[in-house]
Structure 1
Amino acid sequence: MNYYSTNQSAPVVSLREAVVKGLAPDKGLYMPESIPHLPEVFFDEIGRFGLITIARTVARAFFGEDIPQTKLDEIVADTLNFDIPLVKVEDGIYALELFHGPTFAFKDVGARFMARMLSYFVQEQRQEEVKVLVATSGDTGSAVANGFLGVKGIRVFVLYPSGKVSDIQEAQFTTLGKNIVALEIDGTFDDCQALVKSAFMDEELNLQMNLTSANSINVARFLPQSFYYFYAYAQLARQGISTDVILSVPSGNLGNLTAGLFAKRMGLPVKRFIAANNRNDVFREYLQSGKYTPRPSVQTIANAMDVGSPSNFERILNLYGHSHEAISKDISGYRFSDEEIQSAIKGVYKGSNYLLDPHGACAYLALKKGRKASEAGIFLATAHPAKFKETVESCIAKEIEIPKGLGAFMKQKKQSYPLPRNFAAFKKALINLS
């Protein structure tokens, strides 16, 4: 399958080119030329299938023309070596737990899949070392760093805003060494993302380096995230629930939501989506007014959603033909303050003995606000609560246990390179550290 740019002024490219380049030369995001519709029989029987079978079916629909089936099946199975359970929290409300992977966050799925796909293309073409650039507001950096750790032919540069990620998140990508380089930027996530985009637009840098991105702007990062939407529905179907299903998604850079919208376009019979926002609610404002006004992000306790200019907004616009009416028909949006998120963590723990992280709490609140009594609601629990230990403990007034795998990161020595939010300095560091 070929991929085109959302800006419509760059040549169409193959999957390999889209993955290796990351961003189109006209600054647009790559989109598949067509979105395959899965057969009805698949959805009739989906409750009988496990995660790997479902993911392989979806992956073959998108990538089967470009990667041999045996290799693609191997990539899927190697990516998803952990479960993604659906847990009942209250009557009619379920949490899709996306934090059972190696870095305890939903981005393990997309990051691990992309690492394996990119490694396949690099080895197949026997090309020069690929430099992966990734901006993170927290969990992306840890998932990408660990997904690519030790992968031959690939060097990863993680850009993160100094002082604006949790200690555990920071430890997950600053203590690894090997082919992982952490760049600590004096700015916000938006500044980090802007530096990455500027790197792709710099002709001199691209002549010297083989650059790609591991943010959700890369098709190999966001498309695999559709896997777990199908699996969530399958787990409801096993319980005899197959109609009036809605999904609430913590929304920052909008890659996760976009993957869900792709799943719907592929035939997944979900009714609608809810975009859960913290104070950085430019997308919610667009849904309400039809006007998109990016602005500098502000810091909140749900830091992975601290995005003032979400990249994947372009893909959503493109997917719906730039129709605000069509977009707002499928998606509603709500915004919540830190205080409301903290109150939800406390209330759900007290009432249901279920522990939320700040992002899952935001999605839970949005689901409670937007769900009708007849609907089965799923909210995405995108990170383990222990990744936000201090915040969560202050809400429930109780110490929480850190999983052994997560605690291991905290014992290692931090290695990072402080940089100003200046492209010239970033470019120099990129060249010197390569």
Structure 2
Amino acid sequence: MRRRPLHTQCCDKEIDMKYISTRGGVAPIGFTDAILMGLADDGGLLVPEQLPRLSDDALKAWRSLSYPELALELLALFMEEDIPRDELKRLVDSSYATFRDPHVTPVVKLRDDLHVLELFHGPTFAFKDVALQFLGNLYAYVSRKTGSVIHILGATSGDTGASAIEGVRGKEGIKICILHPHGKVSRVQELQMTTVQDDNVLNLAVEGTFDDCQRIIKELFADVPFKRQYHLRAINSINIARILAQTVYYFYAYFRLAEQGHAGPVNFSVPTGNFGDIFAGYIAKRMGLPVGKLVLATNENDILARFVASGVYQPGEFRGTYSPSMDIQVASNFERYLYYLYDGDTGTVAALMERFKSEGRIEVPQDMLRRVREDFAAYSVSNEECLDTIARYYESYGYLLDPHTACGVAAADKRSDEGEVTVSLSTAHPAKFDEAIRLRNISQVYPEPIQTLFGKPRRVTVVGNANDQVKEQLEAFFG
């Protein structure tokens, strides 16, 4: 049994931050090596060797910081060993200068017990911009400083691809290839990716589901000789930098409620598919943020909700829904959670993931399930519930939810207990999913950057659901 201490007390002394694999097969490495490795070479996922534990004084001191100032303080805890503070500040400031709202991620009050954290004010109108604007600039910085070749490979259920492409398009020394499930993303999501004409961008539409795209990506990254030959770098949330950047808005939202006089813990309801966004909230809680329950909201692809209910993690039948970015059966970040659930026991995590590979299921014992439920509540939201929530909130509050955000709000309503305050994460602008919203006879005006997409030519290659077909495209593009 290989256990590691999971926390270190945050103080004036600098933390020697290193990163290890959830499966224990990678020696501790620095932050730059971690983001370049992406998926750990032993097939696991990289995590901080220790998490900083923030004091009450630190939380109080950070309450009045702007979003970029807060991001700098938090990210420096994880990166300052490799990136000097002045350089990190420039990366943070340039990343969030692209957002349309001065608060970057503003909090909107709908009721005394329910607030919405708007994460869609970045260039592609999706929450993925918060991390991927930063990661794109980070990769460009690392490429310049180290002379590293940056060939980015990622999969998307819709929003990651557009955000990742926007973050690196036209950047010298970087090429990016994104896989998306052919015909299974929204029209706007597809146009945001495929109308980009920069020569350092390749879009592959895979004849399959997002889980197929994700499987291909993970298998190509696990092929270490191929990964090294073509200098493959990760943009999906298997890259630890994505998770760290997303922790910031949990702190920011909590501080906004504290400014309004709220003194207790705050619940966060999170539309969930790949477990990355809610895992960032879990990390924030472990760092000392007063989080009550993390409300895990799924659509009809409910593997994670079933896990919290039963302790069994097992894919079900794939269902196409009105919230396609959550149409995921295998959540890649779940392995990171298992690492913390089992107190850093990498041997157990490796065995569980091997069992999942061979048997297609993981089951945790009842004592572990009780620990899961201390942190998480989980609710599955049907297609009709999702649309009904959109209509109800538009009628009652004049506030238009996208289908993914509606799943989070519906889950928050199911959870609602007297005296609790919940922040529901709004992961995308409703204009990205107009097909679903029109089903409830609600019309909206597209923001100008989205409206202009419809007249642009597209660049996309359709490939079969096979590693070899994707490899052939990568060898030509990256070679």
Pick the TM interval, shorter chain: over 0.9
CA contact (8 A) 1:275 1:334 kept: yes
| Correspondence 1:21-36 to 2 at 5 A | 21-36=37-52
User: 1: distance between equivalents of 2:88 and 2:310?
Assistant: 42
For residue 137 of structure 1, report the CA deviation from its aligned partner: 0.4
CA shift in 2, pair 1:403/1:297, >3 Å: same
Letter in 1 for 2:465: R
Letter in 1 for 2:205: E
Aligned to 1:125: 146
Q: How many residues align?
A: 432
Secondary structure at 1:184 match in 2: strand
Aligned to 2:452: 408
User: 2: distance between equivalents of 1:189 and 1:401?
Assistant: 29
For residue 203 of structure 1, report the CA deviation from its aligned partner: 4.2
Aligned to 1:161: 181
- Structure 1 length as normaliser, TM-score? 0.97
Secondary structure at 1:110 match in 2: helix
For residue 393 of structure 1, report the CA deviation from its aligned partner: 2.1
Secondary structure at 1:383 match in 2: coil
Aligned to 1:195: 216
For residue 74 of structure 1, report the CA deviation from its aligned partner: 1.1
For residue 13 of structure 1, report the CA deviation from its aligned partner: 1.9
Aligned to 2:353: none
CA contact (8 A) 2:31 2:78 kept: no
Greater shift, 1-10 or 305-314, is seen at: 1-10
| 1:6 maps onto 2:22 in alignment | yes
Secondary structure at 1:48 match in 2: coil
- Deviations 1:314-360 (Å, cap 9, x if unpaired)? 11111222633222210010001111000000011001111000010
Match for residue 115 of structure 1 among 122, 132, 136: 136
Aligned to 2:429: 384
For residue 425 of structure 1, report the CA deviation from its aligned partner: 0.9
| 1:206 maps onto 2:227 in alignment | yes
Greater shift, 117-126 or 331-340, is seen at: 117-126
Aligned to 1:362: 407
For residue 28 of structure 1, report the CA deviation from its aligned partner: 0.3
CA contact (8 A) 2:39 2:222 kept: no
CA contact (8 A) 1:205 1:427 kept: no
Aligned to 2:310: 289
CA contact (8 A) 1:49 1:234 kept: no
Aligned to 2:95: 79
CA contact (8 A) 2:19 2:28 kept: yes
Secondary structure at 1:143 match in 2: helix
Secondary structure at 1:13 match in 2: coil
Indicate the percent of aligned positions where both proteins have the same amino acid.
Answer: 38
Aligned to 2:13: none
Aligned to 1:51: 67
CA contact (8 A) 1:24 1:30 kept: yes
Letter in 1 for 2:243: F
- Runs (4+) of structure 1 exceeding 3 A deviation are none
Letter in 1 for 2:449: G
Secondary structure at 1:354 match in 2: coil
Greater shift, 153-162 or 115-124, is seen at: 115-124
Letter in 2 for 1:293: Q
| Correspondence 1:17-416 to 2 at 5 A | 17-81=33-97, 82=99, 83-127=104-148, 129-178=149-198, 179-295=200-316, 297-321=318-342, 323-395=368-440, 397-416=441-460
RMSD, matched Cα = 1.3
Secondary structure at 1:155 match in 2: strand
Secondary structure at 2:216 match in 1: helix
Aligned to 2:7: none
- Deviations 1:184-227 (Å, cap 9, x if unpaired)? 00000000001111111224422421001100010111210011
CA contact (8 A) 2:157 2:185 kept: yes
User: 1: distance between equivalents of 2:182 and 2:232?
Assistant: 24
| 1:16 maps onto 2:37 in alignment | no
User: 2: distance between equivalents of 1:42 and 1:406?
Assistant: 40
CA contact (8 A) 1:173 1:180 kept: no
CA shift in 2, pair 1:44/1:203, >3 Å: closer
For residue 141 of structure 1, report the CA deviation from its aligned partner: 0.5
CA contact (8 A) 1:419 1:425 kept: yes
CA shift in 2, pair 1:207/1:262, >3 Å: closer
Secondary structure at 1:259 match in 2: helix
Secondary structure at 2:132 match in 1: helix
CA contact (8 A) 2:95 2:134 kept: yes
* Alignment gaps of 5+ in structure 2: 1-16, 344-367
* Alignment gaps of 5+ in structure 1: none
For residue 49 of structure 1, report the CA deviation from its aligned partner: 2.0
User: 1: distance between equivalents of 2:336 and 2:158?
Assistant: 22
Letter in 2 for 1:78: S
User: 2: distance between equivalents of 1:369 and 1:294?
Assistant: 24
- Deviations 1:137-186 (Å, cap 9, x if unpaired)? 01010110101111211110010000100111011111112211100000
CA contact (8 A) 1:104 1:406 kept: no
Aligned to 1:417: 461
CA contact (8 A) 1:90 1:352 kept: no
Aligned to 2:348: none
User: 1: distance between equivalents of 2:64 and 2:381?
Assistant: 37
Secondary structure at 2:472 match in 1: helix
For residue 42 of structure 1, report the CA deviation from its aligned partner: 2.6
CA contact (8 A) 2:132 2:164 kept: yes
CA contact (8 A) 1:130 1:209 kept: no
Letter in 2 for 1:429: Q
Aligned to 1:427: 471
CA contact (8 A) 1:87 1:94 kept: yes
Secondary structure at 1:241 match in 2: coil
User: 1: distance between equivalents of 2:254 and 2:406?
Assistant: 21
- Deviations 1:74-122 (Å, cap 9, x if unpaired)? 1111122222110011231100000111000000011111111121111
CA contact (8 A) 1:287 1:327 kept: yes
